[in-house]
Copies of this chain bind each other. A is one copy, B any other.
Amino acid sequence: MSGWLAIAGLGPGDPQFQTLQVTAALAEATDIVGYGPYVARVPDRGGLTKHMSDNRVELERAAHALSLAAKGARVVVVSSGDPGVFAMASAVFEALEAGPADWRDLDIRVLPGITAMLAASAAAGAILGHDFCAINLSDNLKPWALIERRLQLAVEADFACAFYNPSSKARPDGFGQALRLLQELCEDGRLITFARAVSTPDETLTTLPLHAATPEMADMRTVVLLGSSRTRLIERPGRAPLVYTPRQVQV
């Protein structure tokens, strides 16, 4: 069988954040499979077929990609950011496990990319410079009560936190609920950063006290970074402030 499947991360937006490995896989592919806006980021060329699908059809998309590779195609499933962080890699493995046995013979690789939280932390400074966690705030695939429990435990552990998928049209109220809970749990002066469309022309970065944050500050293109209790802000005259978490915890 000469086909293969690569599950690749395109990074947060700017092609400059893409790895050389992903660039090479895209150049060898016969087929690109993914959510429409991500597939659109791959330049057209002769011999390349693009398969664009809607949001929220991850399993069908994954099965389609596996079946193309099983027929001999060189397939790249594209995700924004990193494919292993709230993206297509797990969906492909769910489809693989549920699918025909011969799919397990396929050459399958995951090619990592710069995930949104690392691009956002870097754009702001180094918010995730000490222990941290990443939580998907969508309750499409898990109960909301579990999200609230994880928020509580994350604050108790004093992790910095990256929140993916804070808000969408289908879930207009979840982020407001999460924000109220965090405001109850955290001390005054805690910092929060809203990083929207990092590395694209639409990039905005806003850091403010958690207790001044409001739900509409996050949308579908935002990753939210909550500092730990030790996250600090360095003011710079004429430049954006730097937000970072020191490495040391005083005993």
Contacts and interface: CB of A to CB of B under 8 A. Distances in A.
- Chain A interface bracket (under 10, 10 to 19, 20 to 34, 35 or more): 35 or more
Interface of A: 11, 14-21, 23-24, 58, 82-86, 89-91, 93-94, 96-97, 104-105, 108-115, 118-119, 121-123, 125-136, 141-143, 146, 149-150, 153-154, 156-157, 159, 232, 234-239, 242, 244-249, 251
A129 B19 contact: no
Contacts of A83: 122, 126
B84 A129 contact: yes
A84 B126 contact: yes
Contact of A19 (B11, B90, B91): B11
B237 A84 contact: no
A118 B19 CA distance: 13
Contacts of A109: 122
Contact of A237 (B91, B104, B126, B244): B104
Nearest to A96: B234
B244 A89 contact: yes
A6 to B, nearest CB: 10
Nearest to A144: B251
The 9 closest A-B pairs by CB, nearest first: A90-B129, A89-B126, A133-B133, A110-B122, A142-B249, A16-B21, A153-B157, A93-B244, A141-B248
A116 B68 CA distance: 31
B143 A150 contact: no
A223 B132 CA distance: 16
